[in-house]
Chains A and B, each alone.
Chain A
Amino acid sequence: MKKNILLLLLLAASIVGAKAQIYMAKNGEISFHSDSPLEDIDGKSKTIMSLFNTSSRDMMFTAKIKSFDFKDQLMKEHFNENYLESDKFPDATYKGKVNETIDFTKDGAYPVTTTGKMNIHGVERDITEKGTLTISGGGKNILIHCEMMVRLADYKIEIPKLVVTNIAEVIAVKVDIPFVPYVKEEKK
């Protein structure tokens, strides 16, 4: 009987212990580079909203298409109007999970993989990507870094024949998200 109660207490304690430890980043960076014979196109956003649950290892981010900046404004307009159609699809999102079990209290750099659903231009795809997860400050800071190749055709982003030499078919995308523990904001 006493044993059972002890078990129950342990169980309860483990639930409390496993209570979601949520990390957040509002200033994640996503940049991309298109390399083509005629011109190089670079876009970058520094306001990627991202969340990470270290107990379930669920991870997600939302990138506002309009937050991407370019070297000239015309590129930005074309990016929004003609390619990503940000009026219809304002966000690119990722919802996934880090596959490896990691001790998030131990500093170090861990090679990881993540599997989940990427949604760009209204097209959702299952992807698995490799990256690095760096823990520092005794688990206070978690940095996720990932480099991937995105094929525009996979997300139904069409390139008209006239500008086919200006835009690469496969775009190199770099993701850097510096997570810190999420603190619930006091409602004023």
Chain B
Amino acid sequence: MNKKFILTIASACALLFAFAPAKAQDDLSKLMEEQTKAVKGEPVIATFKTTRIINAQSVETVKKRTLDFRIAHRFGPIGTNGGGKHTLYGFDASSDIRLAFEYGINEKLTVGLARCKSRETLQGLIKYRLLQQTTDGKVPLAITLYADAGLMAEKAPDTRYSNYAHRLNYCTQAIIARKFSSGLSLQVMPTWVHRNFVSYHDDENDLLSVGMGGRVKITKRSAIIFDYFQTFSNFRKSKVSYTYSKPTFAPPIGLGWEVETGGHVFAIMFSNSAGLMESDFIPNTTTKGNILEDMRFSFSISRNFPL
């Protein structure tokens, strides 16, 4: 009886021995799981590939100590008013060209200088990352604040710049974004544009609008991008105007495809806005009635130089 008991114990021990190595690795794996689980959430990166979507600013700022040199072209309308085959569907009639140097002072703060063809505007901009989304969901959103000031440096076409302050306009914006997955990012942008000078005397100097933008990745390095701004303006909404030449205003829409190759981000886009700055495309986008013919071809190149 005793012998049997001892034998059972002994064989049990032998069995234990046989399984010990396998068990040891399982224990180690379990311990590893415990230890790595405790790691807290990390910041969500690359909500957008670059600091712009199409017309809109994206939630991204320029990387620390990096200079982002940006070139953007907006051509003439494809169909209506100056489009068609005589301008090669707008290619001959570029409506705006923007050259910009934007520098990341640190991960959060970006400053930039730009020059636009439209009214020869010189622009200074500042962008600050207020809140960064985290992977553990504790911070579900990213928020970036944006502001710019533009100086229209063109020769006065009429009496409009009798006061120097007429040349200035401003844009202030909050960009609220969320990267839902590696493939989908969306953002909303409450925006306030102030222009010291407006062309129509019943137009508003202050305009409030809300923008929306997003990105859907189609491959690791390319994505479909889109943005849209809805402006709240009685002048734009009303059919009545004291100005007989008042055009029909339209919300700026953009749709494009962006691709990244090393340090470049290249985007090919269509938009119905003629301008490339917030204080231009938000108040000044108009339509001739057919949104497809209003569309303009556009491209942008962003090249990053680590300094």
* Complex-state Cα separation, A77 to B3, whole angstroms: 68
Residue A8 CB within 8 A of the other chain: yes
Chain B residue numbers with a CB within 8 Å of A58 are: 21, 24-25, 28
Residue A64 CB within 8 A of the other chain: yes
Is the pair B29, A60 in contact by a Cβ cutoff of 8 Å?
A: yes
Is the pair B6, A18 in contact by a Cβ cutoff of 8 Å?
A: no
- Chain A to chain B: the 5 pairs with minimum beta-carbon distance, closest first: A73-B63, A87-B182, A56-B24, A72-B306, A163-B262
Interface size class of B (residues with CB under 8 A): 35 or more
* Distance of B184 from chain A, by nearest CB (Å): 11
Is the pair B29, A95 in contact by a Cβ cutoff of 8 Å?
A: yes
Given A15-B17, A53-B28: A24 in contact with B35 (beta carbons within 8 A): yes
Closest to B104 in A: A73
Partner of A53 from the list B24, B46, B181, B262 (CB cut-off 8 Å) is B24
Residue A174 CB within 8 A of the other chain: no
* Complex-state Cα separation, A73 to B46, whole angstroms: 11
Residue A146 CB within 8 A of the other chain: no
Task: Write out, one digit per residue, whether chain B residues 4-30 have a CB within 8 A of any chain A CB (1) or not (0).
Answer: 001001100100110011001101110
Residue A153 CB within 8 A of the other chain: no
B interface residues (Cβ-Cβ under 8 A, vs A): 2-3, 6, 9-10, 13, 16-17, 20-21, 24-25, 27-29, 31-32, 35-36, 39, 42, 45-46, 63-66, 107, 181-182, 220-221, 260-263, 304, 306
Partner of A80 from the list B3, B25, B46, B260 (CB cut-off 8 Å) is B46
Is the pair B220, A81 in contact by a Cβ cutoff of 8 Å?
A: yes
Give chain A's interface secondary structure class. mixed
Chain B residue numbers with a CB within 8 Å of A81 are: 45-46, 182, 220
Chain B residue numbers with a CB within 8 Å of A55 are: 24
Partner of A4 from the list B3, B63, B107 (CB cut-off 8 Å) is B3
Is the pair B21, A56 in contact by a Cβ cutoff of 8 Å?
A: yes
A interface residues (Cβ-Cβ under 8 A, vs B): 1, 4-5, 7-8, 11-12, 15, 18, 20, 22, 24, 26, 49, 51, 53, 55-56, 58, 60, 62, 64, 66, 71-74, 76-78, 80-82, 85, 87-88, 91, 95, 160, 162-163, 166, 182
* Complex-state Cα separation, A58 to B231, whole angstroms: 64
Partner of B28 from the list A1, A22, A87, A91 (CB cut-off 8 Å) is A22
Can you report 9 residue pairs joining A to B where beta carbons are below 8 Å apart?
A: A8-B10, A15-B16, A22-B28, A73-B107, A81-B182, A81-B220, A87-B181, A95-B25, A182-B31
* Distance of B163 from chain A, by nearest CB (Å): 44
Is the pair A73, B20 in contact by a Cβ cutoff of 8 Å?
A: no
* Complex-state Cα separation, A146 to B205, whole angstroms: 67
Chain B residue numbers with a CB within 8 Å of A15 are: 13, 16-17
Given A56-B20, A58-B21, A60-B29: A72 in contact with B65 (beta carbons within 8 A): yes
Is the pair A5, B24 in contact by a Cβ cutoff of 8 Å?
A: no
* Distance of B140 from chain A, by nearest CB (Å): 16
Given A5-B6, A87-B182: A73 in contact with B64 (beta carbons within 8 A): yes
Is the pair A7, B10 in contact by a Cβ cutoff of 8 Å?
A: yes
Chain B residue numbers with a CB within 8 Å of A22 are: 28, 31
Partner of A77 from the list B31, B39, B63 (CB cut-off 8 Å) is B63
Closest to B64 in A: A73
* Distance of B270 from chain A, by nearest CB (Å): 25
Chain A residue numbers with a CB within 8 Å of B42 are: 64, 66
Is the pair A62, B36 in contact by a Cβ cutoff of 8 Å?
A: yes
